Amino acid sequence: MKNIILFVLTFFIVSGILAQDSLRLAKRKKEIENKLVLVVPFNPILYNNEASKEMIEQTQHKYKQVQNIMRLGLDKALHKVIADSSLSKSLLESYTTQSEWDELEYIYANCDYFFDQAMSWEPGKKTLFGKSNLSSDKDIDKTKKNKKKVKKEKSEEKSDGELRSDIKNNPDKFLNVKFREKDFLKNLAKKNRVDFFLFINQFDIKGDYSDPYKVGSYSYNREIKVHYSVFNHDGKYLFGSYASSEFPATENDPIKVTDVYFMKLVREIVKNIPY
End-to-end CA distance of the chain: 49
89 lies in a domain?
Answer: yes
36 lies in a domain?
Answer: no
- Cα 98 off chain centre by: 27
The confidence score (pLDDT) of residue 219 equals: 93
The confidence score (pLDDT) of residue 3 equals: 61
Single-letter amino acid code for the residue at 186? K
Instruction: Tell me the C-alpha distance between 275 and 37, whole Å.
Output: 10
Length of the chain: 275
29 lies in a domain?
Answer: no
205 lies in a domain?
Answer: yes
Please report which residue ranges of 98-242 form alpha helices under DSSP H. 98-109, 137-146, 184-192, 212-216
Single-letter amino acid code for the residue at 148? K
* Alpha-carbon dihedral sign for residues 232, 234, 238, 243: positive
Q: Give the number of domains in the chain.
A: 1
The confidence score (pLDDT) of residue 91 equals: 87
Q: What is the pTM of this model?
A: 0.74
247 lies in a domain?
Answer: yes
Q: Domain of 77?
A: 41-270
Taking the chain (275 residues) in runs of 10, the rounded mean pLDDT of each run is 60 52 46 85 97 96 96 96 94 63 87 92 41 34 42 43 51 92 95 95 96 92 97 96 96 97 96 91
69 lies in a domain?
Answer: yes
Provide the 8-state DSSP code for 44. Answer: G
The confidence score (pLDDT) of residue 102 equals: 77
